[in-house]
């Protein structure tokens, strides 16, 4: 399954043709489903079903948008997306794949029902192909739609995360919030989106792996882990603060650069 995941991701990020990109996304979805449901717990099965339905719908929309574009323009090249209807449908499809507001409902639920290692894959590796497609098509997409989605995602991600006690749900809302930051800048400076994604993936990997080794899943259990591994817990504190974007830490860098770029564009 790991080999299929890598194959699907590589196929999508290196493809120039819409059908190849779609095939890569499908391979990815089918490869991660057994990983989500391997514990055979009802929550895990429910998470796998929710994930499958969402991703299948998003893939169908993606194929539909590329077909409309091919029908109108006669080409299947990813970078040549010119039809406005196609652009709108593609934006919805990618937002659904990533879990951007208003298509975010599935992500916290799915993440809550999966083991931590699979949750890590869902938060990082599975977001990479859709972000690559967003990067390649960003010049043709409507900046107003993207900006609205991004602002809503950032606000809702931060706001909904306040009310959670489950660590995986908090991390899911953190992911939605970070995706908002990535989406708002993609029309103006796509390289910053990639920088933000790489740093986010790095910090999230550190968080998930620490939680996996301390076996913490709720905030109440996290409070008592410092007795088991004090050093690891101190590192986790710093990683979480970095993920929140606190100034002297790494997570602040992409936010600072994004705000700077938005100010140059007279957006902020």
Residue labelled with tokens 């979480």: 240
pLDDT, position 2: 93
pLDDT value for 224: 87
User: Is-contact 62 29, C-beta < 8 A?
Assistant: no
Find the angle CA(133)-CA(139)-CA(141) to the nearest 5 degrees: 75
Instruction: Please give the pLDDT value at position 267.
Output: 79
Q: Kindly tell me the sign of the dihedral angle through the C-alpha atoms of 213, 216, 219, 222.
A: negative
User: What mean pLDDT comes out for the span 69-95?
Assistant: 95
**Residue-level pLDDT at 228:** 86
Cα 189–chain centre separation: 18
**Would you kindly state where each structural domain of the chain is located, as residue ranges?**
1-264
Summarize the confidence of residues 93-104 as an average pLDDT. 96
What is the tens place of the pLDDT at every residue in 159-182?
Answer: 999 999 999 999 999 999 999 999
Check residue 95 and give its pLDDT.
Answer: 97
**Average pLDDT in the chain:** 95
The whole-number average pLDDT for the span 200-222 is: 94
Nearest to 99 by CA among 138, 134, 142, 141: 134
Q: What is the pTM of this model?
A: 0.95
Closest to 101 measured CA to CA, from 56, 24, 158, 46: 158
pLDDT over 80 at 232, yes or no: yes
Mean pLDDT throughout 212-234? 90
- Write the pLDDT tens digit of every residue in 7-32: 999 999 999 999 999 999 999 999 99
What pLDDT, on a 0 to 100 scale, did the predictor assign at position 195?
97
d(C-alpha 55, C-alpha 26), whole Å: 8
SS3 per residue for the chain = CHHHHHHHHHHHHHCCEHHHHHHHHHHHHHHHHHHHCCCCCHHHHHHHHHHHHHHHHHHHHHHHHHHHHHHHHCCCECCCCCCHHHHHHHHHHHHHHHCCCCCCCHHHHHHHCCCHHHHHHHHCHHHHHHHHHHHHHCCCCCHHHHHHHHHHHHHHHHHHHCCCCEHHHHHHHHHHHHHHHHHHHCCCCHHHHHHHHHHHHHHHHHHHHHHHHHCCCEHHHHHHHHHCCHHHHHHHHHHHHHHHCCCCCCCHHHHHHHHHHHHHCCCC
From residue 115, alpha-carbon distances to 34, 40, 228 in Å are 12, 11, 21
Percent of the chain with pLDDT over 90: 93
pLDDT of residue 225: 87
Report residue 268's pLDDT band, with 50, 70 and 90 as the boundaries.
low
**pLDDT score, position 256:** 96
């Amino acid at each position: 399954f790991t080999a299929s995941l890598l194959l699907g991701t590589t196929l999508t990020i290196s493809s120039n043709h819409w059908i190849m990109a779609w095939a890569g996304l499908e391979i990815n979805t089918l490869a991660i489903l057994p990983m989500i449901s391997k514990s055979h717990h009802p929550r895990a099965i429910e998470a796998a079903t929710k994930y499958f339905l969402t991703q299948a719908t998003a893939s169908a929309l993606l194929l539909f948008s590329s077909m409309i574009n091919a029908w109108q323009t006669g080409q299947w090249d990813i970078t040549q997306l010119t039809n406005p209807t196609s652009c709108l449908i593609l934006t919805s499809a990618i937002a659904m794949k990533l879990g951007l507001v208003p298509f975010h409902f599935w992500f916290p639920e799915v993440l809550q029902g999966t083991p931590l290692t699979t949750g890590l894959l869902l938060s990082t590796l599975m977001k990479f192909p859709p972000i690559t497609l967003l990067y390649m098509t960003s010049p043709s997409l409507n900046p107003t739609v993207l900006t609205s989605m991004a602002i809503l995602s950032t606000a809702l991600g931060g706001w909904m995360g306040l009310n959670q006690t489950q660590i995986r749900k908090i991390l899911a809302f953190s992911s939605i919030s970070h995706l908002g930051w990535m989406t708002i800048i993609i029309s103006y400076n796509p390289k910053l989106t990639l920088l933000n994604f790489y740093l986010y993936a790095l910090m999230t990997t550190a968080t998930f792996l620490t939680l996996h080794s301390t076996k913490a899943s709720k905030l109440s259990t996290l409070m008592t882990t410092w007795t088991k591994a004090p050093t690891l817990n101190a590192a986790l504190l710093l990683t979480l603060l970095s993920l929140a974007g606190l100034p002297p830490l790494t997570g602040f860098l992409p936010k600072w650069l994004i705000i700077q770029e938005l100010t140059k564009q007279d957006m902020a």
